[in-house]
Structure 1
Amino acid sequence: MTAKKIILLFLLVFSAQAWSQQPFPFEEQYKRARYFAGKFPDSSDIVLNSIIEAAQRDNQPEYLAKAYYLKSFNSYVKSDAENTIRYAGIVFDISEKNHYTVGKALSYRMYGTQYAKLGLLEQAEENLSKGIKEVEHLDTDEGHELRGMIYNSYLIFLNEKEYKKKLYYSRKSINEYLGIQNQTRRNELLVSAYSNIGYNLSEVNQFKESMQYLKKAHALVGNGNDYLKCCILHDIGFSFSKNKQPDSAVHYYHQALSIADAFGFTEKKIEITGNLEQAYAEKAEPDSAKTYKIQHLLLKDSASYNKSITVGKVLAGEKKEYSRKLDQSRFLSRSLIVACIILILILGAVMIRIKQLNEKNRKITAEVYQKGITQAPYEEETKDSDEDEKDTETLTSPMKISPEVEENILRGLQAFEENLEFNNRNVAKYDLAHKLNVNTKYLSAVIKKHKDANFNQYINALRIGYIVEQLKNDPQFRKYKINHLAEISGYSSHSAFSHEFKKIVGIHPSAFIKNLTRVS
């Protein structure tokens, strides 16, 4: 940890202690968290955690929703799709319960933005439209800001060919931001909006208008947001490049690169070095173009870059020994023929194996499609606690449960299954037993008797069975990412879901989805 970050963390902790002695300044701290989100998402989360704690204590649902929204945004910036969706769901639940329209719009915005990144374009557009509808008549600074942000989010899933739509939403966003009365906040938001439309205009070679917007963005950004400043300088360089002015393009690309180097904006460095390579090529400076091509490849994939260097050295060595290799050409030719034959045999064996696996997967998928999943044999549960040990001991010997109690547990399990409560991430045997007003050993005994499973097997079978049925009956589910299927069925991770799915169904979920289209 650098000295700068240590000082920053110390100040945050010190400030939190000072604020605990007086009424919590929600608006001030939310602005602080929003500022950190543009540079240091982890620092932003520290401030947000203090806001959440204070909002829960002081019953401030609006700030609680806004804090979770910003945590969702920070997760999105860090490419954490699971937590982005999870926090957006918390925002929606809080806002729905407290009739907080702005919070619902914020939730829809994050859902739409994340779905667009996952490639679920229909769901993305649907959620963004819902967000607009929530605040379409809200004539306040917050309403203008939200509509502007949502219109900006539409740009994520529009491609270059849809430039008319991109310009339409860019201009809608600018018009909303211009309606904000708070000048400081208005200018903060206009920076990214001007930069977006400037870049979009550059793509369609409208240089003059593009530069007007980019200059406006550059004038407003100041020194407060280094990432946006880096992006704007890059976009100005891109605009010059599209206008066949490589000298100016190189000038601005280098300014952007110096900021990206200073703050470690790796993704932006990849884009900048790639464009620098092109700009130097247009300037007919092959040495400089080659330099930035190498930097671009290194940043993009260091492993591939190192491999390319190794290949280059091998080729250079071969060139030096060209005369010697000419003498050995006949031997090499024979060796190559043998190697080709071996390779063909290996490839043939691999193809046969792949065909066998595909046929096996197809048969498993067809069987599951027709008959459903098969319950795994009963296994004793791991003894993680004294209570679990008592349960296990009870299940190994006959247990007397009155018919009334047993019927009550079965009715409760039926409702539990019908309401899909097994998809809740934190579902636990103790909680379910408490809800049914029975002890855990009775619950375990009934599940063993009627479901032929322990509690974990029972929950996993319900979850995987639910996903299988959805995949069978709803083609839309087959478009979801595996991590999204894991999320909606209550698993904590992609790997945990995939492990249980393969254990119960017999094949990986991606293979099941692939073959499902063929057998359905």
Structure 2
Amino acid sequence: MKIKLLLLFIFTGYHLLYPQAKTDSLRNDSYEKLKEKFYDYNYDGNPAKSKLIAQYYLAKAKREKDISQIANGYAFMYANEDQKNALKYIDSLAEITKNLKDDAYPTRIYLLKANVYFKFNNQKEALNNYIIGLKYAKQKNNKRQIALAETNIAYLNSYIGKDSEAAKVLKYYMDNGSYLTDNELDKIRVNLADCYIELNKLDSANILINKGLQAFKNKDDYRYHQYLGLLGFYNLKRKKYQLAINNLLPCKKYFLAADDIREKNYVLLYLGKSYASLNNNQRAIENFTKIDSLVQKTNYIVPEFGEAYTYLIDYYKEKGDKERQLYYVERFLKIDNMLDAQFEYVSRELPRRYDTPKLLHEKENIINDLQSRKTILNISIGFLSIILVLLSFLYSRSKKRERQHRKIAQDLINTVEMRSFETSKAKLITNPSPIPIQTDTENKVITEDKSAKATPEDITQFILKELEVFEDKELFLKKGITSASLAKSIKTNTTYLSEVINTQKGKNFATYLNDLRIDYALNRLIKDKKFRSYKLLAIAEELGYNNEQSFSLAFKKKTGITLSVYIKEIEKSNNI
């Protein structure tokens, strides 16, 4: 009831809302001063004070009937509300500014909506609104709003694991965003440091972290603890686990008392991982369990939380506590479903051995086991027999799967060797350096003919010839290749290129690129013993992948087996 009355009285008059002491402290402040206070409190993680400023600001603007300032009041009010009320304030802002001649609109509407959706885990709508806001900002050539849209898209990219792309944008605006506020620049620095840690650019991250610690120590507790938390993450990445714990414990105390759900969860996650790395299971469980408690209260989730749940599942599985194991399996599956609805690249972060199909199967086994135990507690011999049969079945199935994977690997090796032999034989027979046929399309950029229904034959042949060069020179091993970059390099457009690959190669561009890389890997792994000794990350980078996860998934999808199985069979065949 108090909350409802508060929302009602916001619009009825300032004197009904605030104690006299608070009104006196704000009465002489200009709009600019109030705005400065609002942003300071908001960025410092002090929602109660920032909300108080927003309420006073809106009431003052309404009393003075200043449309532009009323708009600012609505924009401030949304910041500390739940999703429904936040969107209502933004709708009010849209209504009052529809005839306002101000270059900030309608961009501001879309950026604020995006912030709300981002905050409440609707990543799809957040991205849509950021993109629309960016479009309007560019139309009005509003540099500051362009920067806000692009940095927020960068935060979203980082949120789903695209840290390299995010870091480029953040670094640019940190160096060139002189028109941004100190608060906005500091937010960029914090997120850039986080990206650097994720990308293992630890020296660069450490420089930013130390600057932040020095700037805010004894001056701004919230930001100081933000940077201290990053220092904990940095030391966790360096495997300096006790140092990480020493950094993170004061952050845990501070953020659990503050109203910042993101910082709470990440501090708990890094603490849990640090304790787990030191084999302090009890402390790890304590922190990971707290994450689950907060997720249930707030529904705030990110892909990294999966690590906490898999740890809890493994811990209780090892302890033989099937009830708790089942509970965390179900919690993990629920989070997995929520993430699938929002994150296109969620598989990057979720541990592979606890993917959804396996968890569903394990859940079914646990439930059946729990139900069976209730009825056969007094039939020990029968129970043991069932267990033995089940173990035998699982062992047999495991061996069968292993044989199947070995057979796939052996077939792959034979196929690659045969193809290599036939290719070498063909090169002896045919002219290895055919004279290139000059076409008119080679010396000009091909533009899209939208009136045609299909790619012209001469362009098709030109693109096919360029693709042959692309394959022969192994240019597909370069990092960052996209259909756009390849089309540009061979002087055509993406429409023609995609159509030729689809029709002539029988696959889309992504599959075409992955197939070339995996085929190259299959062949080189057989021939190059040193290449086989590389670590997974090094092999992935040699093949043009950004990370080992992307390569592993592509290899498994193409071959049906893991890289380790394939290499193991190569070594076996070489030792025969």
TM-score (norm 1): 0.51
Kept in 2, the 8 Å contact 1:101–1:134? The answer is no
> Deviations for 1:388-445, whole angstroms, at most 9, x for unmatched residues?
xxxxxxxxxxxxxxxxxxxxxxxxxxxxx99x8x8xxxxxxxxxxxxxxxxxxxxxxx
1:58 equivalent in alignment to 2:109: no
Q: Name the % identity.
A: 12
User: Partners in 1 of 2:298 and 2:88 — Cα distance?
Assistant: 20
Cα distance in 2 for partners of 1:130, 1:275 equals 38
1:237 and 1:253 in contact (8 A); partners too: yes
Match of 1:224 in 2: 259
Q: Secondary structure, in 3 states, of the residue corresponding to 2:99? A: helix
Kindly provide the amino acid, as one letter, of the partner of residue 299 in structure 2.
Answer: G
What is the aligned residue count?
A: 386
Unaligned regions of 5+ residues in structure 2, if any? 13-58, 333-353, 373-381, 420-436, 440-444, 487-492, 521-576
Equivalent positions of 1:462-481 (< 5 A) are 479=480
1:324–1:108 Cα change, 3 Å:
closer
User: Which ranges of structure 1 fall in alignment gaps of 5 or more residues?
Assistant: 1-6, 357-369, 373-416, 423-446, 492-496
**In structure 2, what residue type is equivalent to 1:195?**
G
Tell me the residue number matched to 1:286: 319
Partner AA of 1:197 in structure 2: L
The partner residue of 1:125 within 167, 176, 180 is 167
Structure 1 residues 66 and 278 mapped into 2: Cα distance closer, same or farther (>3 Å)?
farther
- CA change 1:35–1:206 in 2 (3 A) is same
User: How far 1:132 moved relative to its partner?
Assistant: 1.2
Is 1:158 the counterpart of 2:223 in the alignment?
Answer: no
Q: 8 Å contact 1:501–1:508 — kept in the other structure?
A: yes
Q: How big is each residue's C-alpha offset from its partner over 1:478-505, in whole Å with a ceiling of 9 and x where there is no partner? A: 83679999xxx999xxxxx999984797
Residues 344-375 of structure 1: CA distance to partner in whole angstroms, max 9, x if unpaired?
79x979x99xx99xxxxxxxxxxxxx999xxx
* Aligned pairs (5 A) from 1:235-254: 235-241=270-276, 245-254=280-289
Q: Structure 1 residues 121 and 171, CA, compared in 2 at 3 Å: closer, same or farther?
A: same
1:195 to 213, 229, 237: 229
Match of 1:23 in 2: 67
Is contact 1:48-1:67 (8 Å) kept? Answer: yes
After superposition, the Cα gap between the structure-2 partners of 1:108 and 1:263, relative to the gap in structure 1 and judged at 3 Å, is: closer
Correspondence for 1:33: 78
1:109 to 126, 132, 151: 151
Residue equivalent to 2:343:
none
**Using the alignment, how far apart are the partners of 1:57 and 1:308 within structure 2?**
59
Per-residue Cα deviation, 1:301-332 (whole angstroms, up to 9, x for no partner): 45322313556769x9996269999xxx9xxx
Letter in structure 1 aligned against 2:74: Q
1:320 to 380, 385, 389: 385
Alignment partner of 1:144 out of 153, 178, 183: 183
Contact 1:246 1:280 in 2 (8 A): no
Task: Give the corresponding residue for 1:512.
Answer: 512
Amino acid of the structure 2 residue aligned with 1:511: T
Of 362, 373, 383, the match for 1:308 = 362
1:440-455 equivalences in 2 (<5 Å): 453=452
Distance 1:55 1:515, change over 3 A: farther
- Whether contact under 8 Å (1:234, 1:252) holds in the other structure is yes
Residues 229/121 of structure 1: CA separation in 2 closer, same or farther (3 Å cut): closer
Moved more, 94-103 or 475-484: 475-484
> Counterpart of 1:274 in structure 2: which amino acid?
T
Aligned partners of 1:484 and 1:292: how far apart in 2?
A: 50
Q: Using a 3 Å threshold, how does the CA distance of structure 1 residues 54 and 508 change in structure 2: closer, same or farther?
A: farther
| Residue 68 of structure 1: aligned partner | 110
Give the alignment's Cα RMSD to 1 decimal. Answer: 6.4
In the TM superposition, what are the counterparts of 1:364-379 in structure 2 within 5 Å? Answer: none
Change (3 A) 1:469 1:52: farther
Q: Provide closer, same or farther for how the CA distance between residues 225 and 127 of structure 1 changes in structure 2, counting only shifts above 3 A.
A: closer
SS of equivalent residue, structure 1 residue 479: coil
Instruction: Look up the equivalent residue of 2:67 and give its one-letter code.
Output: P
- CA 1:198–1:470 in structure 2 vs 1: closer, same or farther (change >3 Å)? farther
Matches within 5 A, 1:296-445: 296-298=328-330, 299=332, 301-309=355-363, 320=385
- How far the C-alpha of 1:175 sits from its partner, in A, is 5.7
Contact 2:137/2:143, CA 8 A, preserved across alignment: yes
